[in-house]
Amino acid sequence: MRARLSRVLIGLAALALAGCGSSGSSTSSSVSASGSPSGSIAVFAAASLTEAFTAIGRAFEAASPGTKVTFNFGASSALAQQITSGAPADVFAAASAKNMQQVVDGKAANASTAFARNVLEIAVPPGNPAQVAGLADLGEPGVKVVLCQPQVPCGALAQTVLGKADVTVEPVSLEADVRSTLAKVQLGEADAALVYVTDVTAARDKVKGIEIPADVNAATTYPIATLSDSKNTGLAQAFVAYVLSSAGQSELRKAGFEAP
């Protein structure tokens, strides 16, 4: 009888140990044999970071075998709202401190680090049919101007720049993010748009950039943070560290971003 009872207890202990092992493998957090973070993370990032972060993601995966970075690019204001509403994400990179603070205030992140800086530029079609030469021309009758929505960082920055230049603009449309704004120019649906320097750079010969004088231009600083509910904190922290590293910063400089 004692022998039979011992076998039953041993069997129950084995089942308990197996249960503990299976629950640990259900998350995306894992560590490789070498002790380095592995698995996958979701990075929510401002639309203006599309090219730079795509390149950084590829380089990070190559330097960290067994990892996968998935991006969700969009307006920082919309991404912040998604995160505070519970969207599964591991890292947030915003185009303004205001949107990052929204996430911190919502207890979705504890702290952030500035990693890049950007300024505005006027984008016009290659032929510049409206003959836009500067900010003052954006207020001329008949010039079709498109801006980002005011709650989006590029929209808020545009309002600051236009206010400093004392130019009143009645946009033909207000777009959800900077890439949608730029697309209106690329498609010939607008004569000009206020977008980031980096977006003009990314568009190459599809648009022409007109520099805004420094005394009326405005800048935005980009912060990045690991999110509190990340299922793979180790890998999320490693990605943030890579963005802040010389390799990550080099990719950002190539895209036209300035140091924060």
Q: Global pTM? A: 0.85
Average predicted confidence (pLDDT) for the chain: 89
What pLDDT score does 18 carry? Answer: 37
The pairing of strands 91-93 and 192-196 is unpaired
Please, how many CA atoms are within 13 Å of residue 75, restricted to the half-sphere of its CB?
20
Residue 62 has pLDDT above 60, yes or no: yes
**Domain limits, CATH 3.40.190.10, in the chain:** 36-117+221-254, 118-219
CATH topology for 118-219 is: D-Maltodextrin-Binding Protein; domain 2 (3.40.190)
d(C-alpha 150, C-alpha 147), whole Å:
8
How large is the average pLDDT for residues 142-154?
A: 97
Specify burial of residue 191 (Cβ count, 10 A radius: 0-12, 13-18, 19+). Answer: buried
Within 8 A by CB and 6+ apart from 141, the residues are: none
Q: Which residues of 14-38 are buried (b: 16+ CB within 10 A; e: fewer)?
A: eeeeeeeeeeeeeebbbeeeeeebb
CATH of domain 36-117+221-254: 3.40.190.10
Question: How many other C-beta atoms are found inside a 10 Å radius of the C-beta of residue 215?
Answer: 7
| % of the chain surpassing 70 pLDDT | 87
